[in-house]
Homo-oligomer: A and B are copies of this chain.
Amino acid sequence: MDFKLSFKVNEAVYLRDPEASELGKLIIKHSIDLIYNLGFESFTFKKLAVEMGTTEASVYRYFENKHRLLLYIISWYWKYMDFLIDYQLQNITDNKQKLKTIIKMLTHELPISAGGLDYNKKFLNQIVISESSKVYLVKEVTEINKSEVFKPYKELCAKIAAVVSAYNKKYAYPKSLSSTIIEASHHQQFFSQHLPRLTDVTPKNKNEFACLFIENLAFGVLG
């Protein structure tokens, strides 16, 4: 992969497009580092500004609040994952293999060098695991949803659902299975890292565990 990647995130997410300026790109880059290090609850625009050597007010020109910033990062990830899935499925015809590939991608770190992105992939991955559900688990979800900002997630879900349906035409819950696969991928990774008693992880299969479980789950249901 040797080209410039960029994803148009829904304009409703930001006040000023962070991809369109140096400062904007720095905000995203440093946010990923800082949210990873502090956790989303302790992350503030003030701390971000100090870290970057800029001011709070500058950050507020790009994002209404930190929730929107997180939504931007997660949207970006969803779009990126969507792209990667297309890319990786290109030469695969077998639907079982397609689904396996998707599950592998959802349960492993992002490929290191993809399209000259200098976001920290490891951090981004952990943020997705620990923080992504916080973008929709809010009181205002219905209001936020009206501006279509969750579209990338829905599209990703629909894409996986299409593979699920192609693999098993009779299966009645392709979309719910897909959203469950995505969410369970995150949860099982989080649990196996921090609350292993909620899983069947062993010291030996720590890195592969989520992938193994989700594969078993998906093909158990789909036959």
Chain A residues proximal to chain B, CB less than 8 Å: 38-39, 41-42, 130-131, 133-134, 136-142, 145, 150, 153-154, 157-158, 172-180, 183-184, 187-188, 190-191, 194-195, 197-201, 213, 216-217, 220-222
B41–A195 CB distance below 8 A: no
Tell me the complex Cα distance, A133–B176, Å.
19
Please, which residues of chain B bring their CB within 8 A of the CB of A133?
133, 137
Q: Is the CB of B179 within 8 A of A191?
A: yes
Instruction: State the CA gap A38–B131 with chains docked (Å).
Output: 20
In the bound assembly, the distance between CA atoms of A175 and B202 in angstroms comes to 12
A199 to B221, CA, bound (A): 16
Can you report 6 residue pairs joining A to B where beta carbons are below 8 Å apart?
A130-B137, A130-B139, A158-B197, A176-B191, A176-B199, A179-B188
Q: Which of B41, B179, B195, B200 contacts A198 (CB 8 A)?
A: B179
Q: Which residues of B contact A220 (CB under 8 A)?
A: 220-222
Q: Does B221 contact A172, Cβ atoms closer than 8 Å?
A: no
From B38, B41, B173, B188, A200 is in contact (CB under 8 Å) with: B173
For residue A199, which residues in chain B have a CB less than 8 angstroms away from its CB? 173, 175-176, 179
Task: Give A136 to B191 CA distance when docked, in angstroms.
Answer: 9
Residue of B nearest to A151 (CB): B197
If A175-B200, A217-B221 touch, whether A194 touches B141 (CB-CB below 8 Å) is yes
- Smallest Cβ distance from A141 to chain B, in angstroms? 5
- Which of B39, B136, B173 touches A195 (beta carbons < 8 Å)? B136
A45 to chain B, nearest CB (A): 16
A64 CB to nearest B CB, Å:
14
Residues of B within 8 A of A183 (CB): 183-184, 187
Task: Kindly list chain B residues whose C-beta atoms are within 8 Å of the C-beta of A42.
Answer: 139
